[in-house]
């Protein structure tokens, strides 16, 4: 047994990020760790690496108990980690970045020995970066930057490698190449724990799959068994029942949002690639896809929170230049992180949302929101920070509604919510649609939820729209890809 983690617990303030997780990794084993956002998989990795302090439980590598060790000591005992975002030293060449990973932990490091350089070049050869060894990281393509990160992780001959979203942002070919590399590492005698959202892509690579939800482990078995597991499917995709069908999209209804050729680049990575879609007035439009597909980026680009090329038209006119103006003109975003004012009460949060309303409208609007969410009326004087996850989501939507939006963008409305609250959100969406006052655009990784409410759906994969159409055709035409 290479790694044995027992009964791990971690708490961040009021949130139990990891509760009672047991994990074992054997030699020459690739373990895939999957779970929706907020399930605790990244936290689990950082607990293993010592980046966050463990609240309870133990971790052993072989016979050694490494619980509570600082990260640098854990690194020296045979574990290494590849982070989700590339962080090379920009002033040093690719070779020097790898040399860094090979250096011993000694202050008397005065020269780079030839032997060290040789080893560095060998590692670069393994990850196919030999040609760019003497270039600066700023000149590299995105996939090469990720290779560099992998090289750094490999360098010190770790027994166990933790890879956090290694495939994020890579094309299908690049994913295959990386998978081959990872398999080679296993064949060389190392073990790997990898976290990724691309469940289907990962399942061909791993020997074993561990699924997490809300901080706890819900499955630990061979990949095909885990994917067929009822609980796993429910957590990822929502409950099996597809519910009542929604009325088909009325193509006669005027478009309220028109996006054309929208492209967003973060440095070298392409987060959105020529995305075009239309949302119609009075309807519920949904954009679905895995995490990292680009749904949030789409919303951020529409609201001008990130720079983009392409055009966005709202209600027939080009959308404004800055987020505040866009919000005032009727396009309001309710982001995934909610962005509430934690130290203010529920009522004060709503009041900020309604700041731009004339006084008479304000009273009316507060009543409307509090009728929609009776919990918020009860907890008027409570600080937003102390609300439960579900209540915070209600407050976020409520605050957005205070702005009298014409188009409400909700990013992951059901994220981390208990089924009861989920039903409430469902009801809310239906009530809002019925009121006829606004159009809704939701981004969801919970496909079943989206299917239940949307008139039309767009499927986003790695920054590109791969399918658009009315809901009733979704299951037949692309259901196999995601369900």
The footprint of another protein (CB under 8 A) covers 49, 51, 70-73, 75-76, 80-81, 83, 85-92, 96, 99-101, 103, 105, 107-112, 136-138, 152, 156, 266-267, 303, 322-325, 327-328, 332-333, 335, 339-344, 348, 351-353, 355-356, 399-400, 403
Which CB, 67 or 239, lies closer to another protein? 67
> What is the nearest approach in angstroms of another protein to the Cβ of residue 163?
12
Minimum Å distance from CB 411 to another protein?
11
| 248 or 324: CB nearest another protein | 324
Comparing CB distances to another protein, the nearer of 115 and 187 is 115
Q: Which is nearer to another protein, 81 or 219 (CB)?
A: 81
Residue number with CB closer to another protein (70 or 479):
70
Name the minimum Å distance from CB 198 to another protein: 20
- Rounded Cα gap, residues 241 and 237, in angstroms: 11
DSSP 251-309: TTSPEEEEEEEEEEEETTEEEEEEEEEEEETTSEEEEE--TTSSHHHHHHHHTTSS--E
Using the minimum distance from each CB to another protein, give the nearer residue, 209 or 346: 346
The answer to whether 346 and 376 have CB atoms below 8 angstroms apart is: yes
| Tokens 């989700």, residue located | 84
| Cβ partners under 8 Å of residue 480, min gap 6 | none
Strand ranges across the sheet with 191-195: 79-82, 160-164, 191-195, 30-34, 208-213, 216-221
First to last CA, the chain: 34
> Where do we find the tokens 């003497």?
134
Question: What is the nearest approach in angstroms of another protein to the Cβ of residue 463?
Answer: 17
Q: Which residues contact residue 316 at a Cβ distance below 8 angstroms, ignoring those fewer than 6 apart?
A: none
* CA quadruple 461, 459, 222, 22: dihedral, nearest 10: 80
Given a contact cutoff of 8 angstroms between Cβ atoms, the answer to whether 363 and 411 are in contact is no
- CB of 63 vs another protein, minimal distance in Å: 20
Contact by Cβ (8 Å): 451, 226? no
For the CB of residue 302, give the shortest distance to another protein in the complex, in Å.
Answer: 13
Q: Cβ of residue 353: shortest distance to another protein, in angstroms?
A: 5
Toward another protein, which CB reaches closer, 352 or 478? 352
Helix (H) or strand (E) holding 101: helix 94-102
């Amino acid at each position: 047994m290479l790694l044995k983690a027992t009964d791990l617990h971690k708490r961040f303030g009021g949130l139990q990020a990891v509760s009672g997780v047991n994990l074992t990794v054997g030699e020459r084993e690739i373990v895939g760790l999957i779970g929706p956002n907020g399930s605790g998989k990244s936290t689990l990795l950082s607990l293993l690496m010592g980046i966050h302090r463990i609240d309870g439980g133990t971790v052993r590598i072989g016979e050694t108990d490494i619980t509570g060790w600082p990260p640098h000591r854990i690194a020296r005992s045979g574990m290494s980690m590849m982070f989700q975002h590339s962080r090379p030293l920009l002033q040093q060449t690719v070779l020097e970045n790898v040399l860094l990973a090979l250096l011993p932990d000694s202050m008397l490091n005065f020269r780079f020995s030839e032997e060290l350089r040789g080893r560095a070049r060998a590692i670069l050869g393994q990850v196919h970066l030999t040609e760019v060894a003497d270039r600066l990281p700023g000149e590299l393509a995105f996939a090469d930057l990720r290779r560099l990160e992998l090289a750094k992780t490999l360098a010190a001959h770790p027994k166990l490698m933790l890879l956090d979203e290694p495939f994020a942002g890579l094309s299908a070919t690049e994913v295959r190449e990386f998978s081959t590399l990872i398999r080679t590492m296993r064949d060389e005698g190392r073990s790997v724990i990898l976290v990724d959202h691309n469940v289907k892509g990962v399942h061909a690579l791993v020997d074993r799959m561990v699924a997490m939800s809300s901080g706890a482990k819900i499955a630990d078995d061979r990949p095909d068994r885990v994917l067929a597991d009822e609980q796993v499917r429910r957590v990822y995709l929502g409950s099996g029942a597809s519910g009542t069908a929604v009325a088909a999209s009325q193509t006669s209804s005027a478009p309220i949002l028109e996006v054309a050729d929208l492209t967003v680049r973060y440095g070298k990575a392409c987060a959105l690639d020529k995305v075009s879609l239309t949302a119609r007035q009075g309807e519920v439009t949904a954009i679905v896809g895995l995490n990292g597909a680009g749904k949030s980026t789409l919303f951020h680009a529409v609201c001008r929170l990130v720079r983009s090329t392409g055009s966005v038209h709202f209600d027939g006119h080009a959308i404004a230049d800055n987020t505040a103006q866009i919000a005032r003109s009727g396009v309001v975003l309710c982001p995934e992180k909610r962005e509430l004012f934690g130290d203010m009460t529920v009522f004060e949060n709503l009041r900020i949302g309604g700041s731009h309303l004339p006084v008479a409208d304000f009273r009316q609007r507060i009543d409307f929101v509090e009728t929609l969410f009776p919990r918020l009326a009860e907890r008027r004087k409570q600080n937003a920070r102390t609300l439960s996850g579900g209540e915070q989501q209600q407050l976020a939507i409520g605050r957005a509604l205070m702005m009298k939006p014409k188009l409400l963008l909700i990013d992951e409305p059901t994220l981390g919510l208990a089924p009861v609250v989920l039903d409430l959100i469902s009801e809310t969406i239906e009530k809002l649609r019925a009121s006829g006052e606004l159009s809704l655009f939701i981004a969801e990784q919970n496909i079943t939820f989206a299917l239940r409410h949307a008139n039309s759906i767009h499927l986003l994969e790695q920054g590109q729209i791969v399918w658009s159409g009315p809901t009733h055709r979704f299951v037949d035409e692309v259901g196999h890809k995601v369900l």
